Amino acid sequence: MFTANMRPIANRLPDYAVETRQLSKTYGARGRQPAKVALDAVSLAIPRGSFFGLLGPNGAGKSTLINILAGLVVKTSGSARVWGFDTVADERTARAAIGVVPQELNLDPFFTPREMLEVQAGLYGVPAAERRTDEILAAVGLTDKAHAYARTLSGGMRRRLLVAKAMVHTPPVLVLDEPTAGVDIELRQQLWSYVKTLNAAGTTILLTTHYLEEAEELCDRIAIIDQGRVVAHEDKHALLSRLDSKQLSVLVDRDLAAAPDELAVFSPELKDGRRLTFRYKPSRIQVGAILAALDAAKLSVIDLTTEEADLEDIFLQLTRHRPDDTANG
Ligand code: ADP
Ligand code: MG
Tens of pLDDT along 58-85?
A: 899 999 999 999 999 999 999 999 999 9
**Is 232 in the same domain as 89?**
yes
316 and 295 part of one domain: no
pLDDT tens-digit profile of 212-256?
788 888 999 999 999 999 998 988 888 877 767 788 999 999 999
Residues 77 and 8 in one domain: yes
Q: Is the CB of 112 within 6 Å of ligand 1?
A: no
Q: Helix, strand or coil for residue 286?
A: coil
Q: Say whether both 49 and 142 belong to one domain.
A: no
Instruction: Give the number of the ligand closest to the Cα of residue 103.
Output: 2
* Average pLDDT value for the chain: 88
Question: Residue 303 belongs to a domain with what CATH number?
Answer: 3.30.70
Do residues 93 and 13 both lie within one domain?
yes
pLDDT score for 147:
95
Q: What are phi and psi of 91, to 5 degrees?
A: -50, -50
Whether 212 and 235 share a structural domain: yes
User: Which of 118, 149, 169 corresponds to the end of one domain?
Assistant: 169
- pLDDT band of 2, cuts 50, 70, 90: very low
> Does the residue 104 lie in any domain?
no
Mark whether 119 and 177 lie in a shared domain: no
Q: Which of 154-158, 233-237, 312-316 has the weakest average pLDDT?
A: 312-316
Range of the domain at 128: 109-169
Do the beta carbons of residue 228 and residue 235 sit within 8 Å?
no
- Give the Å distance between the CA of 207 and the centre of ligand 1: 17
Identify whether 86 is part of a domain. yes
The answer on 319 and 233 residing in a single domain is yes
Considering the domain architecture, whether residues 264 and 239 belong to the same structural domain is answered as no
User: Using a 6 Å cutoff on CB, does residue 36 contact ligand 1?
Assistant: yes
Residue 207 is predicted with a pLDDT of 95
Cα distance between residue 188 and residue 207, in whole Å: 13
In total, how many domains does the chain have? 3
Give the integer Cα–Cα distance in Å for 250 and 238.
30
- Residue of the CA atom closest to atom 6 of ligand 1: 61
Q: How confident is the model at residue 180 (pLDDT cuts 50, 70, 90)?
A: confident
Residues 177, 33 share a domain: yes
